[in-house]
Amino acid sequence: DAGITQSPRHKVTETGTPVTLRCHQTENHRYMYWYRQDPGHGLRLIHYSYGVKDTDKGEVSDGYSVSRSKTEDFLLTLESATSSQTSVYFCAISEGKETQYFGPGTRLLVL
Amino acid sequence: QKEVEQNSGPLSVPEGAIASLNCTYSDRGSQSFFWYRQYSGKSPELIMSIYSNGDKEDGRFTAQLNKASQYVSLLIRDSQPSDSATYLCAVNWGYGQNFVFGPGTRLSVLP
């Protein structure tokens, strides 16, 4: 987890409310990723970024948006949270095609 | 679509035995391969990476890669109860959506 923090670490929210998760890195890595992890599905890519203001969709991007205004920060927003978005969210970073390193995760419960 | 497959387990081995974890992938254009370990409630952490055919050893861990068979494995020698975790195989065909994780194999090392 060194060099990568996620906030908040735990969040409980209600259906229909907006939620923003933050990933912050101190490694100056170019690539940043948001995954969700659910039982039986493994890690699924939501969105990723390949530079400031450069982002693209992943496998499960519906209902999520992202922004990256600085190299060190990558924000994931659930515009209107649904119960199906209850999950554990991991941020990861990498330098090009090399290893991805993961943050500590955020547990989100949508009631 | 690029896919990475693993047996979900659980794989149970007695303490001191060799644990063998397997992973297959769908596309021959893959470039690098990774094994991550994930303890319950924690984030994935990198164990090993391997880039060329053959074996790579690091302490009690050996990764084996066979690109012709599209197969990568992880051997854990002298398994310890502390090795009990879920092991994720990841294959890198590039960045973003080309970095794909398998669903993971749960390993249980019995004292």
pLDDT digits (tens, 9 = 90+) for B78-87: 999 999 999 9
pLDDT digits (tens, 9 = 90+) for A42-68: 899 999 999 999 999 998 999 999 999
Which residue in chain A has the smallest CA separation from B7? A40
Query: Beta partners for A22?
Result: A7, A75
Mean pLDDT of A13-17: 97
- The pLDDT value recorded for residue A2 is 60
- The pLDDT value recorded for residue B99 is 84
pLDDT digits (tens, 9 = 90+) for A64-106: 999 999 999 999 999 999 999 999 999 999 987 678 999 999 9
B46 reaches A (C-beta below 8 A): yes
Give yes or no for residue A1 having a pLDDT over 70.
Answer: no
Helix (H) or strand (E) holding B57: strand B54-58
B97 reaches A (C-beta below 8 A): yes
Residue ranges, chain B, pLDDT below 70: 95
Is the Cβ pair B46, A42 closer than 8 Å?
no
Tell me how close the Cα of A42 comes to any Cα of chain B, in angstroms: 4
